[in-house]
Chains A and B, each alone.
Chain A
């Protein structure tokens, strides 16, 4: 089932000579049960793609459908609820609140999303899988970059979203942990029927992807 669709999406910033076309006629589908990789160098439009796919901004033209709902017709509040309930973001900047312990990062999710989060045992299994179950009382500044990234992944998965959008999730990880994260994303897609979309320039993740796209100068194309 298609979880995320972009139809003829264009995104333009600025006007006149300052005009930049960040995305050009992008057509894209992310299916549940699949891990999709979008590869591209810096400045290729990866982040713009991710923010539009994640309903953080709207395209200049074209349409974005999340679970078959066109986000252009949603109010800001509805888009907020959509992100909270259906999308999980894993960001390059770890997306952890610095003054909350690992355990409290999940408690914060419980405060804003009362239902539908992982159960205590499911969370425990996830933390064990990521190798961070011993770190639940630590603050982000007491963890390494790799540990922070794994906590951020767990934090994004805790609300049990159907779609996971990851922005350079392996930027701070060594090879061993890249493999771990790659396997985890693949497992989430295959075992839990999630639509996982990863934008990255890390070619090491190719081994775990079901579909690979390349993005260059705002143009996206499927890798054969």
Chain B
């Protein structure tokens, strides 16, 4: 530690540049991770607030709620306890004069079931009639207000916004919650159809109908359109970035260590144990990388304060801490690579 700190203190420019490199790498990884998290949460925010375990869909729906339709008979046969809720989903465009149109997802629910009961309205109240809506708070940021009447698609009927909720998004689309009966009107479906799905907090929900199947919530989320592709893209980007970081950090540490070999050879000649030099090298790498990560985290935090609300970024501390731990691990691997060179230093080379 003594040698590591003294060298950093004396070689400020050189180690400042190394720390800058780590800052940029960690900042980039943190921002990408936050973006991936942000986009991911926009896909599943509503599902997360429902806290469901399974989704019952039509077997032929390809695990896609919009393609799944449950008939009145099927719904009547399904057990509907306090942890189960029937829902209808429809793609809508909300319109109000002078305000921008919003592509949204209408979710029709029953007032007697848990999604309605557990809904946390941050402004206004829950829908009390067939013509009332509670919408995601992103409506408010676009200028929509409580009490306004909006048109959904090209329907003549208008619906009144009576409340706002937070984190009401599914598949990156803001949700407009209304009555299940309203969903039927908006979707203009065969009168024999009753819902798109049943969602349940029961992990072992039993389905007796051969045409229906209960899917785990993770299977359902992974089949949300574009969700897996988008997540895999980010995971690969972050993964490749981590591998490239490992290579870049390892090369830097290797070059720096190689430049120090004549000094290390002299120290070895004088009897300084190789272990002392190895520990010093690893400690130095840790100091550089941890400093870089801390500055990168600080920059990420500052970014979170100034970034526009429209950018879907989520700063999830446990996830970012895991990424930071991955970077530290990467640096330890990078620091261990030149250890062999240090162990094999021949002090004879510095004499004569």
Contact = CB atoms under 8 A, between A and B. Distances in A.
Given A87-B271, A97-B3, A57 B348 contact: yes
Nearest to A98: B263
Interface stretch (B4-12, B45-53, B103-111, B318-326): B4-12
B275 to A, nearest CB: 9
A84 interface: yes
A113 B270 CA distance: 11
B271 A108 contact: no
Nearest to B272: A112
Interface in A145-200: 156, 167
B352 A112 contact: no
Contact of A85 (B2, B6, B271, B348): B271
A95 B352 contact: no
* Chain B interface, DSSP helix/strand/loop, else mixed: helix
A65 interface: no
Contacts of B348: 51, 56-57
Interface in A85-101: 85, 87, 89, 91-93, 95, 97-100
A107 B2 contact: yes
B267 A50 contact: no
Interface stretch (A2-10, A75-83, A119-127): A75-83
B352 A46 contact: yes
A54 B351 CA distance: 11
Contacts of B347: 51, 56
B271 A80 contact: yes
Interface string A37-50: 00000000011101
A91 B6 contact: no
A47 B351 contact: yes
A213 interface: no
> What 4 A-B pairs are tightest by C-beta distance, nearest first?
A47-B352, A84-B271, A83-B271, A99-B10
B6 A104 contact: yes
A100 B351 contact: no
Contacts of A83: 269-271
Interface of A: 46-48, 50-51, 54, 56-57, 77, 80-85, 87, 89, 91-93, 95, 97-100, 104, 107-108, 111-113, 139, 156, 167
B283 interface: no
A98 B3 CA distance: 11
Contact of A91 (B9, B266, B271, B272): B266
B349 to A, nearest CB: 10
Contacts of B274: 80
Contacts of B9: 99
Nearest to A97: B263
Contact of B272 (A84, A92, A139): A84
B267 A97 contact: yes
B270 A50 contact: no
Interface of B: 2-3, 6-7, 9-11, 262-263, 266-274, 276, 347-348, 350-352
Nearest to B350: A93
A54 B269 contact: yes
B46 to A, nearest CB: 57
Contacts of A93: 262, 266, 350
Nearest to B5: A99
Contacts of A48: 352
B350 A80 contact: no
Nearest to A156: B270
Contacts of A80: 268, 271, 273-274
A108 B11 contact: no
A91 B11 contact: no
Given A47-B351, A50-B351, A89-B269, A99 B276 contact: no
Given A91-B350, A98-B263, A167-B351, A56 B269 contact: yes
Contacts of B276: 111-112
10 contacts: A48-B352, A57-B348, A91-B350, A91-B351, A95-B266, A95-B270, A95-B350, A97-B263, A99-B7, A111-B2
A213 B230 CA distance: 79
A215 to B, nearest CB: 12
- Among B7, B10, B271, B347, the one with the most A-chain Cβ atoms within 10 Å of its Cβ is B271
A108 B10 contact: no
Given A56-B347, A108-B3, A111-B2, A50 B269 contact: no
Contacts of B2: 107-108, 111
A107 to B, nearest CB: 7
A150 to B, nearest CB: 17
A46 B351 CA distance: 10
Contacts of B352: 46-48, 50-51, 92, 167
Contacts of B272: 84, 108, 112
B263 A82 contact: no
Nearest to A112: B272
A56 B351 contact: yes
A112 B270 CA distance: 10
B266 to A, nearest CB: 4
Contacts of A47: 351-352
Nearest to A49: B352
B344 to A, nearest CB: 12
Nearest to B267: A97
